[in-house]
Amino acid sequence: MQKRILGKDLEVSAIGLGCMSLSGAYGGPLPMDEAVAVLRGGVERGVTFFDTAEVYGPHLGEHQVGKALGPMRDRVVIATKFGFNLTPEGKQSRGFNSKPDHIREVCDASLRRLGIDTIDLFYQHRPDPEVPVEDVAGTVGELIREGKVRHFGLSESDAATIRRAHAVQPVTALQSEYSLWHRDLEEEVIPTLKELGIGLVPFSPLGRGILTGQVKPGNFPERDFRANLPRYNGEAGEQNFRLVEVLQALAKEKGATSGQLAIAWVLHQGKDFVPIPGTRRLDRLDENIAAAGIALSAEDLAAIERAIPKGAVVGSRYA
């Protein structure tokens, strides 16, 4: 697996593994032994970058990652996140919480669940309108100096917030949705990242699976949260899937799948872009990893742009 650098010096595999789906976002959670097999299978295939969060499950995602990767800790980079309120029973409640004391509590709890001494990359999961980002950055900076965290990250933050945080504690990476399916970052955020030397970790580089062509609009299991997302259902979903069909035809000409072409496109947008497609299956993991070996010419990139032009996807991201 090729390697890439996030920020100044965080080396990771060119493609990481997003672990949200293992804990149940797209149906029920995987049994622990199956989740462990997928995670360790990633390491065997050269993946070194694994992304989880306290709210995945909640808590289950971190337990899965900890159990699977503990024996190979020196070979992997583990990222997790803080920033939401959880009930005492470990269920997500409405509202953000990036207060300094809460960040510290989450850090300690995540370290215990993961079974590690240091979190490699600690993201603020979403901006908290009640807490200045300078306070967030300062708190994570203290955790870095204490040895509990190595790198600071943000998620879904705008350009101004990124600048304010970076002025207090250098930001290593921004994790946000970015793909042929969602390109809003290109206006202000990506130029800011490139100016400041901050890496981008695109989540949902496959458009939550739709860009593979294997996920049909409106055809989701009962517990799959995509069933409530406008751009995957109804007339919007049908219109958007026609774009995917064009991408599939283009991928066939390249001897690839549409999912591989979508990931390769992301990789070609920046040398420090590290997509983290999620999967629950090793065969899909193999397919995703193979995208790192696809070279796209200027003509290829232009053809992909024609297949799914910027702004062509209709419907909002969330309900």
> Considering the entire predicted model, what is its pTM?
0.96
Show pLDDT as tens, one digit a residue, over the chain (319 residues).
999 999 999 999 999 999 999 998 887 899 999 999 999 999 999 999 999 999 999 999 999 999 999 999 999 999 999 999 987 666 666 689 999 999 999 999 999 999 999 999 999 999 999 999 999 999 999 999 999 999 999 999 999 999 999 999 999 999 999 999 999 999 999 999 999 999 999 999 999 999 999 988 988 877 788 988 999 999 999 999 999 999 999 999 999 999 999 999 999 999 999 999 999 999 999 999 999 999 999 999 999 999 999 999 999 998 8
**Residue 56 annotated to the active site:** yes
Say if residues 36 and 67 touch (Cβ distance below 8 Å): yes
- Which of 26, 56, 123, 232 is catalytic? The answer is 56
How far, in whole angstroms, is CA 312 from its chain's centroid?
A: 22
**Residue 53's pLDDT is what?**
97
**Residue 92's pLDDT is what?**
62
Bridge partners of 278?
18
- Rounded Cα gap, residues 16 and 43, in angstroms: 10
CB-CB neighbours of 58 under 10 Å: 17
Say if residues 251 and 258 touch (Cβ distance below 8 Å): yes
Write down all domains in the chain, each with its CATH number in brackets: 3-207+269-294 (3.20.20.100)
- Rounded Cα gap, residues 47 and 68, in angstroms: 13
Give residues with Cβ within 8 angstroms of 277, minimum separation 6: 15, 17, 18, 204, 205, 206, 259, 263, 288
